[in-house]
Amino acid sequence: MARRSSVDYRAVQRQRELQELNEALAARNQALEGLLRGALEVDDFFEIQSLRAAPEIPPFRPGELATPGYPPDQESFMPVAPSGAARFKLGASKKHARAVADATARYETALAVYQDRERRREDALKAATVKYESEVANLTTIAEAQNRDLDEFEAGFEANNPDAIVRYFSMVLDRSAYPEGFPRTYRMAFVPESKQLVVELQLPSIDVVPKIKQYRYVKVRDAMEETARPQAQIKGLYASVVAQLTLRTMHELLEADRTGKLETVVLNGYVDTIDPATGRPISPHLVTVRVSREAFMQLDLHNVEPAACLKGLNASVSKSPAELVPVRPVLEFDMVDPRFVQESDVLGTLDTRPNLMELSPRDFESLITNLFEKMGLDTRQTQPSRDGGVDCVAYDPRPIFGGKVVIQAKRYKNTVGVSAVRDLYGTMQNEGASKGILVTTSGYGKSSFEFAAGKPLELLSGTHLLYLLAENAGVEARIEPPEDWVDPVGDVATNEPQVSPQALDSEGQLVHPPLQLIDGQSAEE
């Protein structure tokens, strides 16, 4: 009978274990399925000054050093004076005097010991006080330094300093809580000309999705058995994780942006894994998207289906994330790496890199032509136009994906307006080209990116140009407009002109100008 009770107890314990395993499995699935919804309940904004440090000053605890000792009582050392008949005994007076002298000596010795002990206690208390005050001063200095750094950080953030912008939004992502097994690795860069934040985000591998559908207890064998989850479910949930994580990250960044520092967010999601075909490490991109703040904030993320939402944002998503089918990023992160514009000559006194803004129109033209030749395009250029630029048409020799490409470069100091992007698109259509590329030494606004979305247009900013020159043509350049530089009127984002009557044909259609390398210099140059 005792044996049967033991078996029943064991079964009860195993059932409890079974319940815990299945509950943990359900919790994991719930966390993966609610990646996006869970983040919507959290306010990602935080005040920079909320990070202000207050020194945690510990109380001063000197212990026994703070308590002075009691000095010896001289009276307690003195002998009792003889009284009555004892006073008259022979030698009583001398004996008493010797006793008093001996007591006085013992008292003075005790007093000296006391005074020495007090001096040592007071010295130790003073040393402890000095040490404590030094620690307090050090803690205060550290807090003050942190707060000065915080003030500088906030000032830089308000001034749109790229480092401060990246620091703030990195803190936003760092504060986000993810399920176990999710990497917390990302790179971030800010393009101030277009208020564009570019994020290179590491995605979790498919291993974050449980391969077990459920556990069951087989009593006759006293064993836990696993039921495998169908591969289709694993792949489906992983694709959902990729889509949710993409939307969640953009939501966190834009929700934290209460002051409108960002107009556009580019997110490239990649995964670090092993190529099953070669056994070597690879990092394919599984999702890439560029979205304006205005478009994203119109979404109701509580009710969207993540994959459909990304499709509506013109995102490029892997056709099969589980099989690591890659996509091409809408913007390579290295092309906006601020190091390309922060580098200086090692001598520190002379920068020998060519300044693109000081080249002659013809030299600039040759540089751009050489760049795209190095990138594998077969370039063709016509006669220079009257403003010192040239018409430039290139051909991509690749089958299927290649074709005619029109390229336009603008040496600008200020942000290029959307009208230039529209003109390029019109020229591309008039030329029967398969792709248009607009290159500038400055940057673009959100209107330009919105217009280019979904069209075969590439918008390359100044940092992109520097990167491409270094990587493909071996040219280490810089972009520093002279103080007297004036951009051509018409394509600047802050001053986009209305279409003039001369720009319309007889049917009221916009007449697109020929493709040319536009320069900020005068026709006389």
pLDDT of residue 313: 93
Same domain (yes/no): 115, 152:
yes
Kind and range of the H or E element at 133? helix 92-158
Statement to judge: residues 179 and 270 lie in one domain: yes
In a domain, 310, yes or no: yes
**Polymer length in residues for the chain:** 525
Q: Are residues 138 and 214 in the same domain?
A: no
Burial category of 357 from C-beta neighbours within 10 Å (exposed 0-12, middle 13-18, buried 19 and up): buried
- DSSP run (H or E) holding 250: helix 231-256
User: Could you tell me which of 242, 214, 191 has the C-alpha nearest to residue 464?
Assistant: 191
Please provide residue 423's backbone torsions phi and psi, each rounded to the nearest 5 degrees.
-60, -40
420-444 as b/e: b if 16+ CB within 10 A: bbbbbbbbbeebebebbbbbbbbbb
Residues 460 and 488 in one domain: yes
**Listed residue (471, 36, 418, 497) closest to 245, CA to CA:** 36
Per-residue pLDDT, 514: 34
- Tell me, what DSSP letter sits at residue 515? P
Whether the model clears a pTM of 0.75, i.e. scores above it, the answer is no
| Tokens coding 175 | 């504060």
**Are 227 and 326 contained in the same domain?**
yes
Tokens of 482: 């002279």
Q: Using CA atoms, how far apart are residues 50 and 276, in angstroms rounded to an integer?
A: 47
Which of these three, 332, 362, 395, is where a domain ends? 332
**Whole-Å CA distances, 387 to 390, 466, 489, 514:** 9, 24, 13, 12
Per-residue pLDDT of the chain (525 residues; tens, 9 = 90+): 445 555 567 778 888 888 888 899 999 999 999 999 999 999 999 999 998 888 889 999 999 989 998 999 988 888 887 777 767 677 778 888 888 899 999 999 999 999 999 999 999 999 999 999 999 999 999 999 999 999 999 999 999 999 999 999 999 999 999 999 899 999 999 988 788 999 999 999 999 999 999 888 887 788 888 888 999 999 999 999 999 999 999 999 999 999 999 999 999 999 998 888 888 999 999 999 999 999 999 999 999 999 999 999 999 999 999 999 999 888 888 777 544 433 333 333 334 678 888 887 777 777 887 788 888 887 765 445 433 333 477 777 776 667 888 888 888 888 888 888 988 888 888 887 888 899 888 888 888 888 888 888 988 888 888 888 888 888 888 888 888 888 876 565 654 433 332 333 333 333 333 333 444 443 333
Identify whether residues 239 and 261 lie together within a single domain: yes
Q: Looking at 133, 158, 183, which one is the last position of a domain? A: 158
Q: What are phi and psi of 437, to 5 degrees?
A: -125, 125
Q: What is the CATH classification number for the domain harbouring 487? A: 3.40.1350.10
> Number of folded domains in the chain?
3
∠ CA 323-328-332, rounded to 5°: 130
Strand locations in 293-342 (E):
316-317
- Does any domain span residue 56? no
CA distances to 72, 319, 442, 453, 477 from 470, in Å: 87, 33, 17, 27, 8
Please say whether the beta carbons of 243 and 287 come within 8 A: yes
Report the candidate in 413, 420, 415 with the shortest Cα–Cα distance to residue 485. Answer: 413
Structure tokens at 68: 């002075």
Could you tell me if 258 and 384 lie in one domain? Answer: no
| Predicted local distance difference test score (pLDDT) of residue 349 | 34
d(CA 466, CA 460): 10
Specify if 517 maps to a domain: no
Q: How far apart are CA 418 and CA 432, in angstroms?
A: 21
d(CA 163, CA 445): 20
Instruction: Look at strands 223-228 and 212-218 and give their pairing.
Output: antiparallel
pLDDT of residue 318: 95
Are 274 and 343 members of one domain?
no
Residue for token pair 């200020």: 414
Q: Give all strands (DSSP E) within 271-310, no chain letters.
A: 273-274, 281-282, 285-292
Q: Estimate to the nearest angstrom the gap between the alpha carbon of 312 and the chain centroid.
A: 26
Confirm whether 151 is domain-assigned. Answer: yes
The answer to whether the beta carbons of residues 390 and 516 sit under 8 Å apart is: yes
Instruction: Locate 115 and state its tokens.
Output: 């005074």
Q: Residue 68's domain spans which residues?
A: 63-158
pLDDT of res. 485: 87
Q: With respect to residue 461, please indicate whether it lies within any of the assigned structural domains.
A: yes
Spatial distance between the Cα atoms of 478 and 441, rounded to a whole number of angstroms: 9
How many CB atoms within 10 Å of residue 325?
12
Report the candidate in 308, 297, 320 with the shortest Cα–Cα distance to residue 250.
297
Q: Does 427 lie in the same domain as 324?
A: no
Give the per-residue pLDDT at 58: 92
Residue 422: which H helix or E strand, with range? helix 418-431
